[in-house]
Amino acid sequence: MADRSILITGCSSGIGYCAAVGMRARGWRVFAACRKPDDCARLKAEGFESPLIDYTDEATINAGLAEVLEATGGTLDALFNNGAHGTPGAVEDLPTDALRAIFEANFFGWHHLTRAAIPVMRQQGHGRIIQCSSVLGFITLPWRGAYNATKYALEGLTDTLRLEMRDTPIHVSLIEPGPVTSKIRQNSIPHFERWVDWRGSARRAEYESGLNTRLYEDRGPDRFELPATAVLEKLIHACEAPRPQPRYYVTTPTHIMGALRRVLPTRALDWVLSRG
């Protein structure tokens, strides 16, 4: 794998950082992108090549990919789109600009980078595009409407891309984790505080007794939570297997919800999901 390169986004912590460390250990040349200069500097100190890529800033996407291609002589074997955040809150309390902002970070930026990588992979005659989606890309949970929406959109676009790439040597896969150890909850707090007026909401009591407690109190790991290495295992297969899978479920809840979605009528599934 020494001559193979992978660009991984969102590497400051969690899934992205674990993926960068794990893929480097397997001999891949890892470009561990972050959206903050300080995080890039920290990873460079650890020996990584770490381009600055902020999904909300197309200039950094273009410059970051150009940096990778200059370093590799114009090739890129795999792209792992990973960086994302949540904007918790009831759908009725989400300003439209909040949705625009999260789609920039969780969807439009991913699309821009993916489109830029495809011509490179076409020219070299192979490539892997792996998207880190979520169990919330095919089922929904209350209070996560903005995040649900970006992951549903990602799944639809990625499924379409996979169909369109069937006549090319470019493989496209989705990884769909359930609860995995990361900082997504903590990283969601600034977006919640920026956009959601929960004190003025008709659901204020529900925020106080539910969502706010989950966001601000450290209650330890979620039930069935797995370490980020569980995602790394799927990423390795998606990058190295001769026939990568179109979808990779990660964690017990993802498998359970995938099965329930297939067998339960909508109202019954709604009842299950409404219980959190």
Which tens digit of pLDDT belongs to each residue from 159-196? 999 999 999 999 999 999 999 998 888 999 999 999 99
Lowest average pLDDT, out of 52-66, 71-85, 97-111, 209-223, goes to: 209-223
pLDDT in tens, 94-132: 999 999 999 999 999 999 999 999 999 999 999 999 999
- Dihedral (CA of 89, 136, 163, 104) sign: positive
Token digits for 88?
Answer: 């918790």
Residues with active-site annotation: 147
Query: What mean pLDDT do residues 240-251 have?
Result: 97
Query: What mean pLDDT do residues 152-163 have?
Result: 98
Nearest Cα to Cα of residue 107 among 150, 76, 45: 150
131 exposed, middle or buried (CB, 10 Å; 0-12, 13-18, 19+)? buried
111 exposed, middle or buried (CB, 10 Å; 0-12, 13-18, 19+)? middle
2 pLDDT tier (thresholds 50, 70, 90) = low
- To the question of pTM greater than 0.85 for the whole model, the response is yes
pLDDT for position 3: 82
SS (H, E, C) 15-80: HHHHHHHHHHHCCCEEEECECCHHHHHHHHHCCCECCECCCCCHHHHHHHHHHHHHHHCCCCCEEE
Query: What mean pLDDT do residues 222-244 have?
Result: 95
pLDDT for position 275: 84
SS3 content of the chain, % helix, strand, coil (to 5): 55, 15, 30
Token digits for 162?
Answer: 């996979």
Question: Over 80: is that where the pLDDT of 276 sits?
Answer: no
pLDDT for position 1: 47
Long-range contacts of 48-54 (CB under 8 A, 24+ apart): 48/11, 48/20, 48/24, 50/11, 51/7, 53/9, 53/83, 53/113, 54/109
Number of Cα atoms under 13 Å in the Cβ half of residue 64: 34
pLDDT for position 217: 85
Distance CA 191, CA 178 (A): 21
Position with higher pLDDT, 48 vs 1: 48
Distance CA 1, CA 131 (A): 21
Question: Over 90: is that where the pLDDT of 40 sits?
Answer: yes
The single-letter DSSP state of residue 180 is: B
* Helix H or strand E segment including 205: helix 204-206
Q: Which residues pair with 8 in a beta bridge?
A: 32, 80
- Dihedral (CA of 217, 223, 227, 228) sign: negative
Q: Which 3 state secondary structure label does DSSP give 171?
A: strand
Q: What is the mean pLDDT of the chain?
A: 95
Query: What mean pLDDT do residues 144-162 have?
Result: 98
The single-letter DSSP state of residue 243 is: S
